[in-house]
Amino acid sequence: MRNSNNSWLSSIISFLLLAVLVDYISATDYVPTDRISLNCGGPPDSSDNDNRKWTSDIGSKFASSRGNSSTASAATQKPSVPNVPYMTARIFRSEYTYTFPVATGRKFVRLYFYPTSYNGLDASNGIFKVTSGPYTLLKNFSAAQTTEALNYDFLMKEFSVNVPSEVLSLTFTPSQDISDSYAFVNGIEV
């Protein structure tokens, strides 16, 4: 009886050690093929609190030349809100698409939001959807309502998106159901 218990315990310990080893090897081998950090509406080159470099989307090859968009600085800054990428934004009054040339495969996409007044716009009217190709990432999204409900000042949303071709697109569309709605984003990481 003791042998079967020892054998069973040995098998479980071996399996757990193998699982930890595989997880460790997998984590150390991951190297992103694409590293894009856009500070939307921000200065040409900036760094965040972790000294990561961010580039501006103003005049960027990733930003669309079509669509009704503008850039703005936040009207106010709460003490907890970092400057980069949250204190500047790109505002969309109509559908607007960013296109990123990337390697095929799964990509992590981070979208950064600080809901405050930009160019006099009411933060509560920032209701929109975000799509990536056939995938809807956010629908009827309000950063103002989300941060209020969570008691946050700012937030970041992260997604895992499969990119079958060599172009990742992110489309921001203001809600058509709400007058004076707009979309916005403070930062994008791929």
Residue 92 burial by Cβ neighbours in a 10 Å radius (0-12, 13-18, 19+):
buried
Separation CA 107–CA 163 (nearest Å): 7
Which of 118, 115, 122, 125 shows the shortest CA–CA distance to 156? Answer: 115
Tell me the whole-structure pTM to 2 decimals. Answer: 0.82
The pLDDT, as a whole number, for residue 80 is: 96
The DSSP result for 1-54, as a single string, is -HHHHHHHHHHHHHHHHHHHHHHHHHHHH---S---EEETT--SEEE-TT--EE
Which residues sit opposite 136 in a β-bridge?
A: 131
The whole-angstrom separation of Cα 11 and Cα 183 is 54
Q: Which stretches of the chain score pLDDT less than 70?
A: 1-6, 16, 19-32
CA atoms of 15 and 4, how far apart (whole Å): 16
Phi and psi angles of residue 32, each rounded to the nearest 5 degrees, phi first: -65, 140
Q: How many CA atoms lie within 13 A of 178 on its CB side?
A: 18
HSE-CB of 146 using CA atoms within 13 angstroms: 17
- The per-residue pLDDT for 118 is 96
pLDDT of residue 3: 58
Residues 6+ apart with CB under 8 A from 47: 53, 54, 84
pLDDT of 39 reads 97
pLDDT at 34: 83
Identify the pLDDT of residue 5: 63
**What pLDDT, on the 0 to 100 scale, is given for residue 90?**
97
Sequence ranges of the domains in the chain? 1-30, 37-189
Q: Which CATH class is domain 37-189?
A: mainly beta
57 SS3 class: coil
Q: State the pLDDT at residue 129.
A: 98
